[in-house]
Amino acid sequence: MQTYDMKVVNHREISECTYEITLQTDVFFPAEPGQFVHILVDPPHQLRRPLSLASSSGGEITVVYKTFGEGTRTLTNKKRGDTVNVLGPLGNGFTLPEQEKVMLVGGGVGVPPLLWLAKELHKDGKKVSAVLGFKSVNQVFYRREMEEYAEVTVVTDDGSSGEKGLVTKWLDPEADVYYACGPNPMLKALEAQLAIPGYNSMEERMGCAIGACFACTVETTDDGYVNVCKDGPVFPKGRVKLP
């Protein structure tokens, strides 16, 4: 395992407080959909930021982040040509489905890893639907990108874009497997509502991101406590007692 000094090749605000950054290294970056990277933020920040991969090809990766605090705000200062240190790829990615009709459910910054997954599923000839939830119209992103691979339904809390309400109201009844990434209450509601098998990609505050510090622990239904970073971030539906 190693760290990579990557060059910023693109960095832009894609919706309110949401940034897409594309980084490049000369060597092959061996990532799979659903995996994440741990990105170093400039001093005085001590902890890296775990971010899901929205794409990875050759030595070029794209991640999307929201400015929740000072660390991510510091990251917005990175300009084209600057260097960012990347640890990864980390965690277990998505297991691709046997089933033919696949539904992706994303909430906010949970959407990016699903975009890469949609691309792979589309390549495999699967029928893909995507339900993307955001707070309001200002926060919507990756709609058009997702439409290349999936039948997209955008849902906003206030109805300012697409359908109104929560994603759980606008699910695809035809789907026979689902992949979800978003806030825990959303993952929980989906588990309760859907009878089909599925996978959750989870988010948690992390320290090391390699399984050594036990910061990102979650309780499983069958195996005590596990780490989101090393044992996840993708877990089959029902495996984790969602907090």
1 lies in the site for another protein, by CB under 8 A: yes
Tell me which of 92, 161, 217, 220 binds another protein, using CB under 8 A.
Answer: 217
Q: What residues numbered 4-43 form the site for another protein, per CB under 8 A?
A: 40, 43
Burial track 141-168 (b if 16+ CB lie within 10 A, e otherwise): bbbebbeebbebbbbbeeeebbeeebbb
**37 and 61 in contact (C-beta within 8 Å)?**
yes
How many Cα atoms within 13 Å fall on the side-chain side of residue 117?
30
Stretch in the footprint of another protein (CB under 8 A) among 9-17, 105-113, 139-147, 211-219: 211-219
221 lies in the site for another protein, by CB under 8 A: no
**202 and 243 in contact (C-beta within 8 Å)?**
no
180 lies in the site for another protein, by CB under 8 A: no
In the complex, least distance from residue 68 CB atom to another protein, rounded to whole angstroms: 10
Write the burial class of residue 57 (CB in 10 Å: 0-12 exposed, 13-18 middle, 19+ buried). Answer: exposed
**N residues, the chain:** 243
70-89 footprint of another protein as x/- string (CB under 8 A):
-x---------------x--
Q: Which is nearer to another protein, 100 or 204 (CB)?
A: 204
Q: Where does this chain bind another protein (CB under 8 A)?
A: 1-3, 40, 43-48, 69, 71, 87, 204-219, 224-225, 230, 243
